[in-house]
């Protein structure tokens, strides 16, 4: 593939992603997926707003907001991409892409644009109402927005390849849901809703291996007043460590994902799609 035709296909892919983002706002299933979790988070934060972060008089609800946004980035990159790859492999979207010149490249670029767009949308849906509801969240400086932006981008780069790898490994989208159980476990230990300093040290260590903790921390560093760094592990926002851990995930993912995706794409054919359709139909009836 020459660079020119790859760049051309990537541009088509971006338009594809844009169209698909628009589609998500025109059907009830996707709208539900945007608004229902957002509503839950808002209710949780509303009831937490009176409580204080241990050792401070800062609202626990306001601390939760950036953490939830960080978690949303991880969910978007991991589960949204994983589920849609597994589903679209089953329904033949991927095979169609494969039958078209440079179609796979366009498809993947489109998918990345779609998932990024959906993640930004789901962040805004939580963020905007929260700004009216919670006190103490400081998104007023340019630095704060820049931090939010780099955490968002780095978070997507760290999690999307992992999502792509898992999406390629599952041949049955209904089994892919299994992966959500450990992800939920990670959320529980990553200090999204409550600081984890009271946890045993080894558990804190485990949490700090995975991207969710760092995404939540990174978002807190962007949106909370600096004195709150004092109640984090190491009494600092540890932005260098955030970059290091998320960067490491990104490197591992970017090395493995192309290989796994190519292997997956190579195996797609009409009969493999037909086989999966048969299986899914049997389940329905």
Partner 1 sequence: MAVVEEVDTPARETRRPDENVVLDVHDLRMRYGTTDVLKGVNFVARPGEVVALLGPNGAGKTTTIEILEGFRMRSAGEVGVLGVDPAHGGEDWRARLGVVLQSWRDHGQWRIRELLGHLGEYYKPYSTERITRPWPLDELIEVVGLTEHADKKVAKLSGGQRRRLDVAIGIVGRPELLFLDEPTAGFDPEARREFHDLVHRLADERTTILLTTHDLDEAEKLADRILILAGGTIIADGSADELTRAMSTDAEVRWTRDGQRFVHATQDPTGFVRELFREHDEAIGDLEVRRPSLEDVYMAMVRQFEAGQHDAAVRQFSEVTR
Q: Which residues bind partner 1 (CB under 8 A)?
A: 1-2, 4-6, 8-9, 12, 15-16, 19-20, 23-24, 26-27, 88, 91-93, 95-96, 98-106, 108, 112, 160-161, 164, 254, 257-258, 261-262, 265, 268-271, 273-274, 277
* 121 or 265: CB nearest partner 1: 265
Min CB(92)–partner 1 separation in Å: 5
* 2 or 140: CB nearest partner 1: 2
Min CB(281)–partner 1 separation in Å: 9
* 174 or 262: CB nearest partner 1: 262
d(CA 155, CA 242): 10
Min CB(237)–partner 1 separation in Å: 28
How many CA atoms lie less than 13 Å away from 92 in the CB half-sphere?
A: 12
Min CB(125)–partner 1 separation in Å: 19
Question: Do 39 and 196 form a contact (C-beta atoms < 8 A)?
Answer: no
Question: DSSP per residue over 87-132, as a string?
Answer: HHHHTTHHHHHHTSTTHHHHHHHHHHHHHHHHHHHHHHHHHHHHHH
* 115 or 222: CB nearest partner 1: 115
* 106 or 218: CB nearest partner 1: 106
Min CB(166)–partner 1 separation in Å: 15
């Amino acid at each position: 593939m020459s660079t020119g035709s790859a760049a051309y296909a990537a541009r088509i892919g971006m338009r594809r992603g844009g169209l698909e983002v628009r589609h998500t706002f025109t059907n009830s299933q996707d709208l539900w997926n945007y608004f229902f979790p957002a509503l839950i988070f808002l209710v949780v934060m509303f009831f937490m707003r009176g409580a204080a972060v241990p050792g401070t008089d800062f609202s626990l609800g306001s601390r939760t907001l950036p953490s939830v946004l960080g978690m949303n980035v991880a969910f978007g990159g991991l589960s949204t991409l994983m589920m849609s790859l597994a589903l679209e492999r089953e329904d033949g979207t991927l095979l169609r892409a494969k039958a078209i010149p440079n179609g796979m490249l366009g498809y993947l670029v489109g998918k990345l644009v779609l998932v990024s767009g959906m993640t930004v949308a789901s962040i805004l849906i939580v963020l905007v109402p929260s700004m009216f509801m919670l006190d103490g969240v400081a998104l007023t400086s340019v630095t704060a927005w820049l931090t939010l932006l780099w955490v968002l981008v780095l978070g997507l780069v760290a999690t999307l390849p992992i999502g792509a790898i898992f999406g390629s490994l599952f041949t049955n989208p209904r089994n892919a849901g299994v992966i959500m159980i450990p992800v939920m476990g990670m959320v529980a230990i990553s200090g999204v809703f409550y600081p984890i300093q009271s946890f045993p040290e080894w558990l804190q260590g485990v949490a700090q291996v995975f991207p969710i903790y760092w995404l939540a921390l990174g978002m807190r560093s962007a949106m909370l007043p600096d004195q709150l760094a004092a109640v984090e592990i190491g009494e600092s926002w540890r932005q260098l460590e955030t970059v290091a851990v998320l960067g490491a995930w990104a490197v591992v993912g970017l090395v493995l994902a192309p290989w796994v995706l190519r292997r997956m794409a190579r195996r797609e054919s009409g009969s493999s799609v037909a086989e999966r359709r048969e299986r899914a139909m049997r389940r329905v009836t």
